[in-house]
Structure 1
Amino acid sequence: MGESGMSIADPSGPLDQPTQAEPLTIRLTRAAAAIASRGAPDLSAGLLERIFTTPRRYSVPARERDWMVGARTDHLELAGGLRIPLYRWGSGPTVLLIHGMSGRGSQMAGFTAPLVAAGFSVVAFDAPGHGAAPGRRFSLPEYAQVVLQIAAHLGPLAGAVAHSVGAAAATVAMGAGAEIDRLVYFAPLEDMADQLLRLARFLGFSTRVAGRTQHRLETRLGVPMEALRGRDIARTMTRRLLVFHDRYDRMVPFSDGATLVRHWPGARLITTEGLGHARILRDPDALERTVRFFAGPMSGHESS
């Protein structure tokens, strides 16, 4: 997910525990949502669905513009006709960078220099509705299809680094046959239905409205949310996985990463504290461990 705002699985603050320091606008939004949940549940479900599937575009900070220097840009036409930008650096085995909801390719580009120095080619992209790509609304099943198409276009991938909903998309894509040798996940979302419920609670919508929203999404997309649950796909995985997750992540709970690792054979979890949901992508130790993970076999247990 991105850095702030309200979009799919992306509330800007603690999901389940409101605090006295929350702005008046948030408290008023909750009160209005509670009233609407009782008086107009169908309308409320439509609104929650739109919030849940509408990414926000943010300005690109200076550090990301610096990371993008030297990128070779081309485009990939997806099934359905949308053309998205691909950004490439270096040469060698390819590592794909997969951003989260309301993120962008440049947000992941801090990984490029160390990976290129280690002998890899690196590819980032803007998913539909993000960065410089066209589109307005987006969902996890659609994102998984994008990852599948990019992976097929680039050929078998040496690895992928994925963040948040991007990690969930990578997991679903792997379950559908994407060829990625090794994966590194940062703050991976494991259960989309739980995240929808957390967002509903954060905004003040009722559990009933959350259930109606889930039904609307499943009907429109033709995919039940339980088919997207990471733990169930993880049990079938044979590729190596390294997960970084901050214990105090306010957007995707630490329990999501821990659950995914528990069900993914051989996966390793590195726990951080104080890096949150987005700064973890810029942590020097995490970058170093990521490059080491891709560069060769690791011996022993990867400790936190």
Structure 2
Amino acid sequence: MSIADSSGPLDRPARPDPLAIRLTRVAAGLASRGAPGLSSWFLERLFTTPRRYSVPVRERDWMAGARTYHLELAGNMRIPLYRWGSGPTVLLIHGMSGRGSQMAILAAPLVAAGFSVVAFDAPGHGAAPGSRFSLPEYAQVIMQVAGHLGPLAGAVAHSVGAAAATVALGQGAEISRLVYFAPPEDMADQLFRLAGFLGFSTRVAGRTQHRLETRLGVPMEALRGRDIARRLTNPLLVFHDHGDGIVPFRDGATLARYWPGARLIATEGLGHARILRDPEALDRTVRFLSGRPTGQDTGCAQDVAA
């Protein structure tokens, strides 16, 4: 159950037309009153349908040298995996409407640090087949990828990918150290925020939540990051920007507060997507996964007590 990361490509954030937004909100409000069942069906589709974007040149450069192969998941679906280097394995986990190449900026520095790095396209993303996706399904994909690769030395996850990694850890995925960028902690809140942004009523959002929980067989409350985090001991470093307009900063702060020993680093001016390209954050990520000190703040990031 995952909201599409509506920032679009990392280098071209989506710029919605204000008039289109107003018209959409008016239509959604009218539909909420006149056809709440149809509205909840439509909102569910929006919430679970990733969007595919073209791959910018820089991501193609980051993918240079990757060895590509495919993994067959349960249900006869094959997804592409991309590997660089040799050594202990670090898994890169993209967000909703993302792709493996978005995370590949980390491949070269992690390989230089002695790791093997693996990225992948989840179903419905990048070069993988499929059209709809949800948080519980993503967690199962991570479980299968992690099982295929063996115990992981680490993982770096963005947005909904981080939420899915937390669920997978709660189900037994073996990952030694983790770095999260902009992790959602409460997917029900994400759903209601999306509904409000689009102009759907709270009643329609509630019906949508019920539809999702019935279809997937998992209550959203069981996917709360803070409740899973209480039981985890894996070292975790969280980066989250105060101005993130997709996943509120409070989500990352809450997750870090409930995750024993987690460290939260707040950033300013990097938003939801550009944070993945920040040189200081990337350097700290490599240091953290290597078990080395992450250094002092230099103005980009500020440690926040969890």
TM-score, reference length from structure 2: 0.92
Aligned-partner SS, 2:176: strand
Q: Is the 8 A contact 1:9 1:251 kept in 2?
A: no
- How does 1:88-127 map onto structure 2 within 5 Å? 88-127=83-122
Look up the match of 2:186: 191
Which SS does the other structure have where 1:134 is aligned?
coil
Alignment partner of 1:159 is 2:154? yes
The count of corresponding residues between Structure 1 and Structure 2 is 291
- Give 2:37's aligned residue: 42
> Alignment partner for residue 24 of structure 1, among 19, 24, 32?
19
- Give the deviation of 1:280 after TM superposition: 0.3
Residue pairs, 1:69-80, within 5 angstroms: 69-80=64-75
Which residue in 1 is equivalent to 2:197?
202
**In structure 1, what residue type is equivalent to 2:52?**
R
Residues of 2 paired with 1:10 and 1:26: CA distance?
A: 17
Shift of 1:201: 0.1
Q: Which moved more, 1:192-201 or 1:22-31?
A: 22-31
The equivalent residue for 1:17 is none
In the alignment, what sits opposite 1:270?
A: 265
Of 48, 51, 54 in structure 1, the residue corresponding to residue 46 of structure 2 is 51
Write out per-residue CA displacement over residues 279-300 of structure 1, whole angstroms, 9 at most, x where no aligned residue: 0000000010000001124389
Distance 1:12 1:187 in 2: 13
The one-letter code matched in structure 1 to 2:21 is I
Contact preservation (8 Å) 2:90, 2:155: yes
Residue identity matched to 1:215: H
Per-residue deviation, residues 60-102 of structure 1 (Å, max 9, x unmatched): 0011000001000000000001000000000000000000000
TM superposition shift of 1:23: 1.3
2:235 maps to what in 1? 240
* Structure 1 Cα separation of the partners of residues 17 and 109 of structure 2: 39
2:71 is equivalent to residue 83 of structure 1: no
TM-superposed deviation, 1:8: 2.0
Map of 2:293 onto structure 1:
298
Q: Equivalent residue of 1:258, what SS?
A: helix
Question: What residue identity is the alignment partner of 1:222?
Answer: G
Offset of residue 205 of structure 1: 0.2
Q: Which amino acid aligns with 1:176?
A: Q
1: CA distance, partners of 2:58 / 2:179: 22
Any stretches of 5+ residues in structure 1 without a counterpart? Answer: 1-6, 14-20
- Secondary structure of 2:5's counterpart equals coil
CA drift of 1:9 comes to 4.4
Q: 2:183 is matched by which residue type in structure 1?
A: P
Q: Distance in 1 between matches of 2:211 and 2:292?
A: 45
Counterpart of 1:277 in 2: which secondary structure? coil
| Matched residue SS, 2:288 | helix
Query: How far apart, in 2, do the equivalents of 1:235 and 1:255 lie?
Result: 17
Q: In the alignment, what sits opposite 1:3?
A: none
SS of the aligned residue for 1:146 comes to helix
In 2, the alpha carbon distance for the partners of 1:101 and 1:123 equals: 18
Shift of 1:22: 5.7
The answer for the alignment partner of 2:278 in structure 1 is: 283
1:40, 1:211 → 2: CA distance?
A: 14
RMSD: 1.6
Structure 2, unaligned runs of 5 or more: 9-15
Q: How high is the TM-score relative to the length of structure 1?
A: 0.93
Distance 1:12 1:103, change over 3 A: closer
State the 4+ residue runs in structure 1 displaced beyond 4 angstroms.
299-303
Cα deviation, 1:237-289, whole Å, max 9, x if unaligned, reads: 01000000000000000000000000000000000000000000000000100
1:175 to 2:170 alignment? yes
Deviation per CA, 1:210-230, whole angstroms, max 9, x where unpaired?
A: 000000000000000001000
Could you tell me which amino acid in structure 2 is paired with residue 97 of structure 1? L
Residue identity opposite 1:214 in structure 2? Q
Q: Which whole-Å deviations, capped at 9, do the CAs of 1:93-148 have from their partners, x for residues lacking one?
A: 00000000000000000000000000000000000000000000000000000000
SS at match of 2:184: coil
- SS of 2:81's partner is strand
- Quick one: distance in 2 between partners of 1:180 and 1:150? 11
